[in-house]
Amino acid sequence: MHRFNRRPIQASIRGSGADETEPFIDDLREALSHWASSVAVLAASDGDEIDAITITSFAGVSIDPPLVLACIANHVSILPMIREEQRFTISIL
């Protein structure tokens, strides 16, 4: 069994330009305002491989700073990749 240091993953929203953070925060606010309860896809990549899972345990926590919550069981195969890479993508369906 693997033991991992539990710590939050640093959130970031990136655009193509340095001053494009505000439109992405607006997009996050808009997306989260339509999320009641449904299915989302959480994906992560280590550069060579992409892994993804469907999740229903997802919630917006904060707009500033941009924070979301996704609950993933310890036995799910994507978890070590997320912890190692410290980033992931959530697609709201």
Q: Report the distance separating Cα 82 and Cα 43, nearest Å.
A: 9
Bridge partners, residue 44, by sequence? 51
Please give the pLDDT value at position 51: 93
Bridge partners, residue 89, by sequence? 43
pTM over 0.85: no
Of all helices (H) and strands (E), which one includes residue 10? none
Structure tokens at 13: 């929203």
State pLDDT tens for residues 44-88.
Answer: 998 889 999 998 888 888 878 888 888 888 899 999 999 998 888
Q: Report the distance separating Cα 5 and Cα 17, nearest Å.
A: 33
* Mean pLDDT of all residues in 4-10: 48
Position 30 confidence tier, pLDDT thresholds 50, 70, 90: confident
Amino acid sitting at position 62 = S
Amino acid sitting at position 69 = L
pLDDT > 60? residue 37: yes
